[in-house]
C-alpha cells in the first residue's frame, strides 16, 4: 500500500515537473512576468534552396531566457502560454518583432525573400488574429507575400472548419501558408485537400530516418510527389547531414532547413550569412 501510494505520488510529481525540472507553477509565474521583463527574443534559421545554397528566407523561432530558470524550450512554454491566455499577446510580440527585423533586412534582399512565423492553435482560434496581423503589416509596410504563416496539423483539429475559413482569409490578404511538421498529425492528406496552403514542411523525423528506413523514405517520396502535382513547395526540415541533403536532392526536393546549413541564430549573427553562400563544410 505504502509503496503504491509512493509510486502514485511520484507519478504525480513527475507529471507536475516538465522535462527541464521546473515545476509547472514556477514556469507559470515566470511566464506571466517574462514579457515585461524583456526575456523573450527571436532567433532566425535560414531556409535554403539546396540546388544552389541560396537563402530563401528565415524562420523566426521564439526564445525565452529566464534569469534563474535559464533557456526554456518553446515546446514547453507555448502550451503553458496558451493555457494562461498569454498566447495572443506573445504571438503579437513575435509578429511585430519578426516584421521589424524583416523591414531592417529588406534593403539588401530579394523581392521573394520571406520570414516564416509559427502560429499556435489558440492563436488561430482568436477573433482578433486577422486584424492584428493586418495592422502589423501596415505598420511595418511589409508585403504579406513575404510572410509565411506556419501552422501544424494538430493546431487545426479542434475546429477544422473555422481554421479553413481563417486561413482562406489570410491567403486572400496575400499571406503564404505552410503546413508545419507534416506527416506527424492525423488526416494529413485530408488537410492537404481542404486547406489553402502553399508549402509543406516535411517533419524532421522523416528526414532523419529516410536513409535507414524504407517506410520513411517512401513517405518523403510520396509527399514530394503529391506536392508536385498540387503545385506546392516542399521544405525538408531538420537536414543535418550532407548525405541527407544528397538523398533529398535526388528525390527532387529543392528546399531544406536544418543544422547542416545553420542553427537558429540571433539577428546580430544573421547579417553575416547574407553575403556568402551557406556551404560551410564540404
Summarize as ranges the residues that interact with Mg ion (CB under 5 A).
Answer: 118, 150, 180-181, 237
- Locate cell 509578429: which residue? 95
- Residue 61 interacting with ligand C2E (CB under 6 A): yes
Q: How many residues bind ligand C2E (CB under 6 A)?
A: 21
Shortest distance, CB of residue 181 to ligand C2E, whole angstroms?
Answer: 5
The residue among 181 and 216 lying less far from ligand C2E, judged by its C-beta, is 181
Cβ(80)–Cβ(31) below 8 Å: yes
Alpha helices (runs of H) in 17-120, residue ranges in sequence order: 24-34, 74-83, 87-105
Contact call for residue 118 and ligand C2E (CB under 6 A): yes
Residue 73 binds to ligand C2E (criterion: CB under 6 A): yes
> For the range 124-130, what are the long-range contacts, defined as Cβ-Cβ under 8 Å and sequence gap of 24 or more?
124/151, 124/155, 124/156, 124/162, 124/163, 124/166, 124/167, 125/158, 125/159, 125/162, 126/88, 128/88, 129/88, 129/91, 129/166, 130/166, 130/169, 130/170, 130/173
Query: Least distance (Å) from ligand C2E to the CB of residue 117?
Result: 7
183: left (phi over 0), alpha (psi -120 to 50) or beta: left
Q: Which is nearer to ligand C2E, 57 or 258 (CB)?
A: 258
By CB under 6 A, the residues from 158 to 187 that bind ligand C2E are: 180-181
57 or 264: CB nearest ligand C2E:
264
Closest approach of ligand C2E to the CB of residue 31, in Å: 14
Please report, as residue ranges, which positions from 144 to 163 form the binding site for ligand C2E (by CB under 6 A). Answer: 150
Instruction: Mark residues 260-279: x for contact with ligand C2E by CB under 6 A, - for none.
Output: ----x---------------
Q: Are 23 and 17 in contact (CB under 8 A)?
A: yes
Of 61 and 137, CB closest to ligand C2E: 61
Closer by beta carbon to ligand C2E, 180 or else 216: 180
- Give, for 124, the enclosing helix (H) or strand (E): helix 121-125
Buried b (16+ CB within 10 A) or exposed e, 176-206: bbbbbbbbebeebeebbeebebebbbbbbbb
**Which one of 12-20, 68-76, 163-171, 266-274 is the stretch in contact with ligand C2E (CB under 6 A)?**
68-76
Interface positions with ligand C2E (CB under 6 A): 45, 61-62, 73-75, 78, 94, 118-120, 150, 180-181, 204, 238-240, 258-259, 264
Amino acid at each position: 500500500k505504502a509503496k503504491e501510494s509512493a509510486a502514485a505520488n511520484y507519478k504525480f510529481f513527475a507529471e507536475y515537473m516538465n522535462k527541464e525540472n521546473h515545476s509547472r507553477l514556477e514556469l507559470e509565474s515566470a511566464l506571466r512576468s517574462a514579457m515585461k521583463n524583456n526575456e523573450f527574443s527571436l532567433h532566425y534559421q535560414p531556409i535554403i534552396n539546396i540546388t544552389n545554397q541560396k537563402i530563401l528566407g528565415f524562420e523566426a523561432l521564439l526564445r525565452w531566457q529566464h534569469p534563474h530558470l535559464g533557456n526554456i524550450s518553446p515546446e514547453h512554454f507555448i502550451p503553458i502560454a496558451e493555457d494562461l491566455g498569454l498566447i495572443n499577446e506573445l504571438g503579437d510580440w513575435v509578429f511585430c518583432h519578426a516584421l521589424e527585423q524583416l523591414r531592417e533586412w529588406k534593403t539588401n534582399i530579394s523581392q521573394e525573400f520571406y520570414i516564416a512565423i509559427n502560429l499556435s492553435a489558440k492563436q488561430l482560434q482568436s477573433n482578433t488574429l486577422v486584424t492584428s496581423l493586418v495592422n502589423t503589416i501596415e505598420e511595418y509596410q511589409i508585403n504579406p507575400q513575404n510572410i509565411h504563416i506556419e501552422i501544424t496539423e494538430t493546431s487545426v483539429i479542434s475546429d477544422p472548419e473555422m481554421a479553413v475559413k481563417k486561413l482562406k482569409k489570410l491567403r486572400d490578404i496575400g499571406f503564404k501558408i505552410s503546413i508545419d511538421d507534416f506527416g506527424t498529425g492525423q488526416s494529413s492528406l485530408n488537410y492537404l485537400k481542404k486547406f489553402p496552403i502553399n508549402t509543406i514542411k516535411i517533419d524532421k523525423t522523416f528526414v532523419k530516418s529516410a536513409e535507414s528506413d524504407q517506410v520513411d523514405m517512401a513517405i518523403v517520396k510520396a509527399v514530394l510527389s503529391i506536392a508536385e502535382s498540387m503545385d506546392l513547395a516542399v521544405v525538408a526540415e531538420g537536414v543535418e547531414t550532407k548525405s541527407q541533403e544528397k538523398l533529398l536532392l535526388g528525390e527532387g526536393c529543392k528546399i531544406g532547413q536544418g543544422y547542416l546549413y545553420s542553427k537558429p541564430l540571433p539577428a546580430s549573427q544573421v547579417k553575416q550569412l547574407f553575403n556568402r553562400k551557406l556551404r560551410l563544410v564540404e
